[in-house]
Amino acid sequence: MDALVFTDSELIHYINMGVSAVANQMIAAMNPYTVKSVTISTTAGSDIPGDFHSMMPGELCYIMNGKVFLEDALTPPRNIRYFSAPANIDDVEDTIPLPSPYVAAVVNVAVELAAMRIGKDVNQERQGHMVMSNVRTAFQTPLGFMGMAAPQSGGGSSADKGQP
């Protein structure tokens, strides 16, 4: 009989850490999957949503005593956008709560964590996993070139190319 290396509880913990790591990268990239909204219907505010991670930049609101309030210049009702954090899984049979393109990145993080626990060096694998998963922050991806190679500059000025 083979020895048990990892318990289900430990694997669930690694998967949840993977979900959190990938979701944080998605939020940093302002991935639309992570954006939700809450309606503030009165000046008494609204409870912070259970899946709340952080506010979208530019939202005119503030948080105080577990509630979200509109800035004084705004009148309710108004929808406020926020970033949501996916729920943790509780069982090895649960579905990873992210869109399928990101599930492989979650599994890669979980495998790396498990491998580190038994003393494996995972630096090289981590670099490959980040490239393969294509989970990037907004600062790593040139605007307008999502999924495409950025054009290469040929040097010279725009005047040399007949452009104003």
CB 31 within 8 A of CB 59: no
Structure confidence at residue 113 (pLDDT): 85
Structure tokens given for 99: 């869109």
Structure tokens given for 27: 């939020």
Instruction: Record the pTM.
Output: 0.70
The better pLDDT of the pair 127, 26 is held by: 26
Alpha carbon distances (Å) from 136 to 58, 64, 123, 133 = 22, 32, 18, 9
Q: Does residue 147 carry a pLDDT above 90?
A: no
Structure confidence at residue 132 (pLDDT): 54
Residue 45: how many CB atoms within 10 A of its CB?
Answer: 20
Separation between Cα atoms, residue 104 and residue 140, nearest integer Å = 20
Residues 41-74 pLDDT 10s: 988 999 999 999 999 999 999 999 999 999 987 8
